[in-house]
A and B are shown apart, each in its own frame.
Chain A
Amino acid sequence: MAAIYSLYIINKSGGLIFYKDYGSAGRMDTNDSLRVASLWHSMHAISQQLSPITGCYGIELLEADTFDLHCFQSLTGTKFFVVSEPGTQQMENLLKVIYELYTDYVLKNPFYEMEMPIRCELFDINLSQVVQKDRVALLGR
């Protein structure tokens, strides 16, 4: 059964602006999630340097034994990444949907300060709906 473990959104300087845990076996406290976010930010940057060909935008998928990590980078440098069960499909589409939610409920919010942690209720609500729908769809497969 495919499942999402957690979702992170990091700003262009590598700071964590949003973190949501969807019931992974290993829960992380705030410090750990911040650490993971900066770790990922550096890995993403390093991977661009290692490319043997020009035009590398960074890591899109990282596969490990116990999890997969899918990453989507917007044109402005904001990175959305989700840690999921190995072999989960359709994560790229999910990330794009989350990006749309971000633009609608976070960026268009006049009280939201750029690069700051996201505290938008509507974003949370809609995000839960999308993930829930995704879960149901995945379970139904």
Chain B
Amino acid sequence: MQFFGGSEISPSPPAPTVSGNNAHMVYVFNRNGVCLLYREWNRPLHTLNAQQDHKLIAERGNLGVPQLPGQGCSFHSFRTNTYKLSFMETPSGIKIILVTHPRTGDLRDSLKYIYNLYVDYVMKNPLYRPGSPIRSDLFITTLDQYVRSIA
């Protein structure tokens, strides 16, 4: 299990869970860019150390490239030859990013479902302090199960 918060905590290597090989990683950021959750299932290559990785991904989320001026819009996914990154931002500023196999279909509904899991297991937990790393076992387990099921 791997939990990250801010850039001061140095990560220990995550223990990958056995899973279907479609999903690679998931990140959850809050509106300040703090990484609340990072889960990894299948990541043979680590180009960057964890802090750089998170910063890059958080910046990604901030782009929401406004190509057509006057219409604020944000992207929901991009695809390269080796992976597909799906992104969702909620009105409260929570950003969910899922990195999967390139031939995955539209994952917007999955991201919405993951957000609902977050609401149910994390936000509704009275002991959870918003903005702190997510330590809810129930959330992690359910998330793992769900991601494996869509793989």
Contacts and interface: CB of A to CB of B under 8 A. Distances in A.
B81 A62 contact: no
A40 to B, nearest CB: 8
B83 A52 contact: yes
A51 interface: yes
Contacts of A26: 67-71
Contact of A53 (B44, B53, B63): B44
B77 A63 contact: yes
Interface in B44-60: 44-45, 47-48, 53, 56-57, 59-60
A51 B47 contact: yes
Contact of A65 (B43, B57, B70, B74): B74
Of the four ranges (under 10, 10 to 19, 20 to 34, 35 or more), the interface on chain B belongs to 20 to 34
Interface stretch (A42-50, A97-105, A113-121, A123-131): A42-50
Interface string A81-100: 00100000000000000000
A55 B102 CA distance: 13
Q: Which of A28, A39, A59, A66 has the most CB of B within 10 A?
A: A66
B74 A59 contact: no
A61 interface: yes
A58 interface: yes
Contacts of A54: 44-45, 82
B67 A50 contact: no
B119 to A, nearest CB: 23
Interface in A1-60: 5, 24-26, 28, 32, 36, 39, 43, 46-60
B56 A60 contact: no
A51 B67 contact: no
Contacts of B67: 5, 26, 36, 64, 67, 69, 83
Nearest to B60: A46
9 closest Cβ pairs, A-B complex? A64-B75, A26-B68, A62-B78, A52-B43, A56-B82, A26-B69, A52-B24, A53-B82, A65-B73
Interface of A: 5, 24-26, 28, 32, 36, 39, 43, 46-67, 69, 83
